[in-house]
Amino acid sequence: MNSSNAQYTVSRNNEQFGPYDFEQLKQYVTEGKVLNDDLVFDGSNWVHVGQIVSSPKPSLNVPLAAPRNMTPSPQQYNQQQAVNFMPLLAPMFSSQAWIRFLSVLGFIGTVINCIITLISLVHLLAGKGDLIYFFGNLISALLFFYPSYLLWSYANTIIQLRSGFQLGALKKAIEIQARVWKFYGILALVFVILIILIFLLGYLEVLNFSNSELNFTT
Protein backbone atom coordinates (compact mmCIF):
# COMPACT_ATOMS: atom_id res chain seq x y z
CA MET A 1 0.00 0.00 0.00
CA ASN A 2 2.51 2.61 -1.20
CA SER A 3 0.01 5.03 -2.73
CA SER A 4 0.90 8.70 -2.43
CA ASN A 5 -2.54 9.29 -0.92
CA ALA A 6 -2.05 6.69 1.80
CA GLN A 7 -1.69 7.91 5.36
CA TYR A 8 0.33 6.03 7.96
CA THR A 9 0.09 6.30 11.75
CA VAL A 10 3.16 5.12 13.66
CA SER A 11 2.95 3.66 17.17
CA ARG A 12 5.82 3.30 19.62
CA ASN A 13 5.66 2.71 23.38
CA ASN A 14 1.88 3.16 23.39
CA GLU A 15 2.15 6.58 21.70
CA GLN A 16 0.90 7.36 18.22
CA PHE A 17 2.56 9.71 15.73
CA GLY A 18 1.32 11.00 12.42
CA PRO A 19 -0.40 10.50 10.18
CA TYR A 20 2.35 10.66 7.55
CA ASP A 21 2.26 10.04 3.84
CA PHE A 22 4.50 7.37 2.34
CA GLU A 23 7.32 9.76 1.44
CA GLN A 24 7.41 11.19 4.96
CA LEU A 25 7.39 7.70 6.43
CA LYS A 26 10.18 6.62 4.11
CA GLN A 27 12.21 9.70 5.03
CA TYR A 28 11.82 9.06 8.76
CA VAL A 29 12.88 5.45 8.27
CA THR A 30 15.94 6.57 6.31
CA GLU A 31 16.85 9.07 9.03
CA GLY A 32 16.41 6.43 11.70
CA LYS A 33 13.57 8.28 13.39
CA VAL A 34 11.19 5.42 12.64
CA LEU A 35 12.38 1.91 13.43
CA ASN A 36 11.65 -1.21 11.45
CA ASP A 37 10.12 -2.74 14.58
CA ASP A 38 7.75 0.18 15.16
CA LEU A 39 4.10 -0.49 14.42
CA VAL A 40 2.34 1.37 11.64
CA PHE A 41 -1.34 1.46 10.72
CA ASP A 42 -1.58 1.14 6.95
CA GLY A 43 -5.29 1.87 6.73
CA SER A 44 -6.51 -1.62 7.53
CA ASN A 45 -4.01 -3.36 9.82
CA TRP A 46 -1.22 -2.67 12.26
CA VAL A 47 2.02 -4.04 10.86
CA HIS A 48 5.72 -3.51 11.44
CA VAL A 49 7.24 -0.60 9.57
CA GLY A 50 9.75 -2.97 7.99
CA GLN A 51 6.89 -4.66 6.14
CA ILE A 52 6.15 -1.41 4.32
CA VAL A 53 9.53 0.24 3.95
CA SER A 54 12.92 -1.04 5.08
CA SER A 55 15.65 1.08 6.59
CA PRO A 56 18.78 1.23 4.41
CA LYS A 57 20.95 1.65 7.51
CA PRO A 58 20.82 0.71 11.21
CA SER A 59 18.16 2.63 13.11
CA LEU A 60 19.48 5.43 15.29
CA ASN A 61 16.39 5.44 17.50
CA VAL A 62 15.99 9.19 17.04
CA PRO A 63 12.78 10.51 18.63
CA LEU A 64 9.83 10.76 16.30
CA ALA A 65 8.39 14.05 15.25
CA ALA A 66 5.87 15.46 17.69
CA PRO A 67 2.49 13.81 17.25
CA ARG A 68 -0.16 15.82 15.53
CA ASN A 69 -3.41 16.45 17.31
CA MET A 70 -6.02 14.24 15.75
CA THR A 71 -9.23 12.56 16.80
CA PRO A 72 -8.97 8.84 16.03
CA SER A 73 -11.84 7.10 14.34
CA PRO A 74 -13.50 4.20 16.21
CA GLN A 75 -11.48 1.77 14.10
CA GLN A 76 -8.25 3.62 14.82
CA TYR A 77 -9.11 3.75 18.52
CA ASN A 78 -9.69 0.00 18.56
CA GLN A 79 -6.40 -0.55 16.78
CA GLN A 80 -4.66 1.74 19.26
CA GLN A 81 -6.10 -0.28 22.13
CA ALA A 82 -4.77 -3.40 20.44
CA VAL A 83 -1.28 -1.90 20.37
CA ASN A 84 -1.60 -0.96 24.04
CA PHE A 85 -2.89 -4.30 25.27
CA MET A 86 -1.49 -6.95 22.94
CA PRO A 87 1.98 -7.12 24.58
CA LEU A 88 0.30 -7.49 27.98
CA LEU A 89 -1.87 -10.33 26.69
CA ALA A 90 1.04 -12.36 25.32
CA PRO A 91 1.17 -14.69 28.38
CA MET A 92 -2.56 -15.30 28.00
CA PHE A 93 -2.13 -16.15 24.32
CA SER A 94 0.72 -18.56 25.06
CA SER A 95 -1.41 -20.39 27.65
CA GLN A 96 -4.35 -20.95 25.29
CA ALA A 97 -3.22 -24.43 24.19
CA TRP A 98 -2.78 -25.57 27.80
CA ILE A 99 -6.19 -24.20 28.76
CA ARG A 100 -7.76 -26.10 25.88
CA PHE A 101 -5.88 -29.24 26.91
CA LEU A 102 -7.17 -29.00 30.49
CA SER A 103 -10.72 -28.44 29.29
CA VAL A 104 -10.54 -31.52 27.06
CA LEU A 105 -9.24 -33.60 29.98
CA GLY A 106 -12.11 -32.28 32.07
CA PHE A 107 -14.66 -33.26 29.44
CA ILE A 108 -13.13 -36.74 29.27
CA GLY A 109 -13.47 -36.98 33.05
CA THR A 110 -17.08 -35.81 32.73
CA VAL A 111 -17.88 -38.54 30.19
CA ILE A 112 -16.27 -41.21 32.37
CA ASN A 113 -18.22 -40.07 35.42
CA CYS A 114 -21.45 -39.94 33.40
CA ILE A 115 -20.92 -43.54 32.28
CA ILE A 116 -20.27 -44.63 35.86
CA THR A 117 -23.34 -42.68 36.99
CA LEU A 118 -25.53 -44.43 34.41
CA ILE A 119 -24.18 -47.82 35.46
CA SER A 120 -24.84 -47.04 39.11
CA LEU A 121 -28.35 -45.86 38.19
CA VAL A 122 -29.07 -49.14 36.41
CA HIS A 123 -27.86 -51.06 39.46
CA LEU A 124 -29.93 -48.80 41.70
CA LEU A 125 -33.09 -49.42 39.67
CA ALA A 126 -32.36 -53.13 39.79
CA GLY A 127 -32.20 -52.94 43.56
CA LYS A 128 -28.50 -53.73 43.69
CA GLY A 129 -27.03 -50.25 43.78
CA ASP A 130 -26.17 -47.71 46.43
CA LEU A 131 -27.98 -44.36 46.43
CA ILE A 132 -25.02 -42.53 47.95
CA TYR A 133 -22.69 -44.00 45.33
CA PHE A 134 -25.05 -42.85 42.56
CA PHE A 135 -25.29 -39.27 43.80
CA GLY A 136 -21.55 -39.20 44.46
CA ASN A 137 -20.84 -40.03 40.82
CA LEU A 138 -23.45 -37.54 39.63
CA ILE A 139 -21.91 -34.73 41.67
CA SER A 140 -18.46 -35.75 40.47
CA ALA A 141 -19.62 -35.50 36.84
CA LEU A 142 -20.98 -31.99 37.46
CA LEU A 143 -17.77 -30.95 39.20
CA PHE A 144 -15.81 -32.09 36.16
CA PHE A 145 -18.15 -30.50 33.61
CA TYR A 146 -18.56 -26.96 34.94
CA PRO A 147 -14.87 -25.92 35.12
CA SER A 148 -14.19 -27.72 31.83
CA TYR A 149 -16.92 -25.69 30.17
CA LEU A 150 -15.49 -22.47 31.61
CA LEU A 151 -11.97 -23.33 30.44
CA TRP A 152 -13.26 -24.20 26.96
CA SER A 153 -15.06 -20.84 26.77
CA TYR A 154 -11.94 -19.10 28.07
CA ALA A 155 -9.80 -20.68 25.34
CA ASN A 156 -12.33 -19.62 22.69
CA THR A 157 -12.25 -16.05 23.99
CA ILE A 158 -8.44 -16.01 23.83
CA ILE A 159 -8.62 -17.13 20.19
CA GLN A 160 -11.08 -14.30 19.54
CA LEU A 161 -8.68 -11.81 21.11
CA ARG A 162 -5.77 -13.09 19.03
CA SER A 163 -7.72 -12.72 15.80
CA GLY A 164 -8.67 -9.11 16.56
CA PHE A 165 -8.54 -7.14 19.78
CA GLN A 166 -11.91 -6.24 21.30
CA LEU A 167 -12.47 -4.78 24.74
CA GLY A 168 -15.66 -6.83 25.03
CA ALA A 169 -13.74 -10.05 24.44
CA LEU A 170 -11.09 -9.03 26.98
CA LYS A 171 -13.81 -8.28 29.54
CA LYS A 172 -15.42 -11.66 28.86
CA ALA A 173 -12.08 -13.45 29.28
CA ILE A 174 -11.47 -11.74 32.62
CA GLU A 175 -15.00 -12.59 33.79
CA ILE A 176 -14.58 -16.25 32.84
CA GLN A 177 -11.23 -16.37 34.59
CA ALA A 178 -12.83 -14.91 37.72
CA ARG A 179 -15.58 -17.55 37.59
CA VAL A 180 -12.99 -20.32 37.29
CA TRP A 181 -11.05 -19.15 40.34
CA LYS A 182 -14.26 -18.56 42.28
CA PHE A 183 -15.39 -22.11 41.53
CA TYR A 184 -12.09 -23.63 42.65
CA GLY A 185 -12.08 -21.36 45.71
CA ILE A 186 -15.54 -22.56 46.75
CA LEU A 187 -14.52 -26.15 46.05
CA ALA A 188 -11.41 -25.76 48.20
CA LEU A 189 -13.47 -24.18 50.99
CA VAL A 190 -15.95 -27.07 50.93
CA PHE A 191 -13.06 -29.53 50.98
CA VAL A 192 -11.50 -27.81 54.01
CA ILE A 193 -14.86 -27.81 55.83
CA LEU A 194 -15.31 -31.52 55.11
CA ILE A 195 -11.82 -32.27 56.41
CA ILE A 196 -12.56 -30.33 59.60
CA LEU A 197 -15.88 -32.15 60.04
CA ILE A 198 -14.23 -35.52 59.51
CA PHE A 199 -11.56 -34.60 62.03
CA LEU A 200 -14.17 -33.48 64.58
CA LEU A 201 -16.26 -36.60 64.06
CA GLY A 202 -13.17 -38.74 64.47
CA TYR A 203 -12.25 -36.86 67.63
CA LEU A 204 -15.76 -37.29 69.05
CA GLU A 205 -15.64 -40.98 68.16
CA VAL A 206 -12.38 -41.34 70.05
CA LEU A 207 -13.88 -39.54 73.05
CA ASN A 208 -16.93 -41.78 73.01
CA PHE A 209 -14.74 -44.84 72.77
CA SER A 210 -12.60 -43.62 75.68
CA ASN A 211 -15.67 -42.92 77.81
CA SER A 212 -17.12 -46.33 77.03
CA GLU A 213 -13.83 -47.95 78.03
CA LEU A 214 -13.83 -46.04 81.31
CA ASN A 215 -17.42 -47.05 82.03
CA PHE A 216 -16.58 -50.65 81.24
CA THR A 217 -13.62 -50.72 83.62
CA THR A 218 -15.60 -49.11 86.43
Distance CA 20, CA 92 (A): 33
Residue 165 phi, psi dihedral angles, 5° rounding: -65, 135
- What does the pLDDT read at residue 127? 84
Q: DSSP string spanning 164-190? A: S--HHHHHHHHHHHHHHHHHHHHHHHH
Q: What's the angle, vertex CA 39, arms to CA 93 and CA 67, rounded to 5?
A: 130
pLDDT digits (tens, 9 = 90+) for 180-213: 999 999 999 999 999 999 999 988 888 887 777 6
pLDDT at 66 over 70: no
The percent of residues above 70 in pLDDT, for the chain, comes to 75
Segment holding 20, helix H or strand E: strand 15-20
Q: Mean pLDDT over all residues of the chain?
A: 79
pLDDT digits (tens, 9 = 90+) for 107-147: 999 999 999 999 999 988 888 878 888 899 899 999 999 99
Report if pTM > 0.85: no
pLDDT digits (tens, 9 = 90+) for 74-93: 455 555 555 566 677 788 88
- What does the pLDDT read at residue 154? 95
Q: What's the angle, vertex CA 165, arms to CA 164 and CA 170, rounded to 5?
A: 130
Q: DSSP string spanning 51-119? A: GT---SS----PPPPPPPP----HHHHHHHHHHHHHHHHHHHHHTHHHHHHHHHHHHHHHHHHHHHHHH
> For residues 50 and 117, which has the higher predicted lDDT (pLDDT)?
117
pLDDT digits (tens, 9 = 90+) for 170-182: 889 999 999 999 9
Q: Are the C-beta atoms of 48 and 86 separated by less than 8 Å?
A: no
pLDDT digits (tens, 9 = 90+) for 136-153: 989 999 999 999 999 999
Segment holding 47, helix H or strand E: strand 46-48
